[in-house]
Structure 1
Amino acid sequence: MDLVVSVFLPVSLGIIMLSLGLGLTVADFARIIRQPRAVVAGLFAQVVLLPIIVYGFVIAFGVSGELAFGFMLLAASPGGVTSNILTKLVGGTLALSISLTGLISLLSVITVPLLVVFWAGLFLDTGDATINVTGLALTMFAITAVPVAIGMIIRAVATGLAGRIEPVLSFVAAVLFVVIVIGAVAASWDVLVANWTTLAPMTALMVLCLLALGWIIARVIGLPVPDRAAIGMETGIQNSTVAITLAGILHAGPEALPVIALPAAMYGILMYLGALPGGYLMYRAARGAA
């Protein structure tokens, strides 16, 4: 089990983040200056409002303890490659989606440890006493920021190589994502069965609300429809692999994938129940605006 937590999960997440970095360029981050309103709106929706909305769902559905902390761990995690793919499919601004994914992934080195300590103190008996903020920040840096930076460097200095290995790494990343999600669900199967009627509708409805949240914020500040779709997807689609990996690292028990990983694993499956109808509405709006 120690090998799963210390080797398999971090390496798998590193590969997934490396595949993300291969799709990023310095120009993607330069959009922060060229499109400040869109980027600030995306950051505000995902970093500030998203955790508040998820907390509201946790309270409304009566979820507590480790499951509640698991949902908040998911809310603290950045977006992932899936949000970029879905943004493209619904006709959103792919460049904005990629920029937000990359920026928030790098910011997560700071935001995730702080949020984890806060939510642990609220929902777990141990509170924040057992969480080393500096150590967690260094871990986040090693398993997220470093692979992304390596991917960007490869893309910059060896564009041809990046183009050849990106599809392979994307496929490997997708396989690893499926394996991690299935493993987390299997590890907490009894808890899932006992709470299915609460967790399943909560997760699907939560995704729909978060998609709408991103869209509405972008609309309020007057962004075009494609930008609304990008921000909506970035807000609604989180990187559940980050949350599952952190759950394994934070847990001190013998289980490789503890109960706190279950919400992220469920989300990895059920997010599509919310993303499909929400994405369809975004697609129709983007087609109508074209």
Structure 2
Amino acid sequence: MEILVEVFLPLSLAIIMLSLGIGLTPSDFRRVVERGWAFGIGALCQLILIPLFAYVIVLTFGFTGAIAAGVMLLSFCPGGVTTNVMARLANGDVALSVSLTALISLLSIITVPVLVGWAVTRFMGADVPEFSVTEIAIAMFLITTLPVSIGMLIRYLAPGFADRAEPKLFVLAGVLFVVIVLAAIATNWDLFVANFTALGPALAVLSITTMLAGLTIAGVFGLTWAEQKTVAVEVGLQNGTLGITLAPIIAGVATGIPEIGLPAAIYSVIMYLTGIPIVLWLRSRRRES
């Protein structure tokens, strides 16, 4: 079990982020400048809207302690490679989705450690674990920023190899995502069962409301229908894998997934139950509105 927490989980997430990086090109980042308005709306929704909604849900459902901190931890995590797939399924702007996922993932090395420090102090009080914001930042760099950068370097140095490797890495990333979620649930099965009835509805509300809010805000600010759908997906589907991976580092445990990681584990299941129907509904609405 110690190998699972200390080695397999971080390595798996690193491979998932590598699969993101190997598909990136300089044009993805130039697109941020060329379409700064759409990117800015999506980025602000991810950085501000999701934590705000999560905070309201924590207070509304009466969560406290590690569970409350875990919901907030989830809200601080950027979107993952899943959002790129969902954006494509919704007939959204995939290029914008990739740009948002990549840039917010790179920025999270700064935002996540700082916000996690606030959340655990705010909700865990005297039970707050001893952890270092710097340690979390280093972990974020090693399991997100560095793999993305390596993937981009591979794409730059060997584009042919990157083209061949990308679909295989994408499949591997999907398999690893499922393994991580199942492992997180299995290692804390009793806690999972005890908290699912309370956390499940709350996290479903978080996913649905953030998707619809992202869609609405993007529409209010004049984004195209494809861009609106992309912002909805990027805002409504978080990288639960990152939350699961960071939880043991925050809690300082090496055996199993701690309680603070349960919201991310449950959300990783819930988001498909809530997200896919909305994505299919968005796909069916072809008019610009």
Q: TM-score range by the shorter chain?
A: over 0.9
Q: Deviations over 1:9-52 (max 9, x none)?
A: 11111100000101111111111211111111011100111101
**In structure 2, what is the Cα distance between the partners aligned to 1:127 and 1:136?**
19
Counterpart of 2:125 in 1: which secondary structure?
Answer: coil
Counterpart of 1:130 in 2: which secondary structure?
Answer: coil
Structure 1 segments, 4+ long, off by >4 Å, are 126-129
User: What runs of 5+ residues in structure 1 fail to find an aligned partner?
Assistant: none
Instruction: Measure how far apart 1:128 and its partner are.
Output: 6.5
**In structure 2, what is the Cα distance between the partners aligned to 1:246 and 1:55?**
19
Aligned length: 289
Q: Does 2:200 align with 1:200?
A: yes
Q: Do 1:120 and 1:126's aligned partners in 2 also have CA atoms closer than 8 Å?
A: no
Instruction: Measure how far apart 1:184 and its partner are.
Output: 1.0
**In structure 2, what is the Cα distance between the partners aligned to 1:127 and 1:48?**
27
Identity %: 45
Pairwise mapping of residues 1-290 of structure 1 onto structure 2 (< 5 A)?
1-126=1-126, 130-285=130-285, 287-289=286-288
**In structure 1, what is the Cα distance between the partners aligned to 2:217 and 2:36?**
14
**In structure 2, what is the Cα distance between the partners aligned to 1:280 and 1:164?**
30
| Residue range with higher mean Cα deviation, 97-106 or 28-37 | 28-37
**In structure 1, what is the Cα distance between the partners aligned to 2:2 and 2:212?**
40
**In structure 2, what is the Cα distance between the partners aligned to 1:128 and 1:112?**
17
The TM-score normalised by the length of structure 1 is: 0.95
| Residue range with higher mean Cα deviation, 209-218 or 110-119 | 209-218
The TM-score normalised by the length of structure 2 is: 0.96
**In structure 1, what is the Cα distance between the partners aligned to 2:239 and 2:37?**
24
**In structure 1, what is the Cα distance between the partners aligned to 2:222 and 2:281?**
19
Instruction: Measure how far apart 1:289 and its partner are.
Output: 3.2
Q: Deviations over 1:240-259 (max 9, x none)?
A: 11110000222224533111
**In structure 2, what is the Cα distance between the partners aligned to 1:254 and 1:219?**
45
**In structure 1, what is the Cα distance between the partners aligned to 2:59 and 2:31?**
37
Q: Do 2:248 and 2:254's aligned partners in 1 also have CA atoms closer than 8 Å?
A: no
Instruction: Measure how far apart 1:125 and its partner are.
Output: 3.1
**In structure 1, what is the Cα distance between the partners aligned to 2:114 and 2:254?**
25
Q: Do 2:129 and 2:251's aligned partners in 1 also have CA atoms closer than 8 Å?
A: no
**In structure 2, what is the Cα distance between the partners aligned to 1:22 and 1:103?**
14
Q: Do 1:117 and 1:127's aligned partners in 2 also have CA atoms closer than 8 Å?
A: no
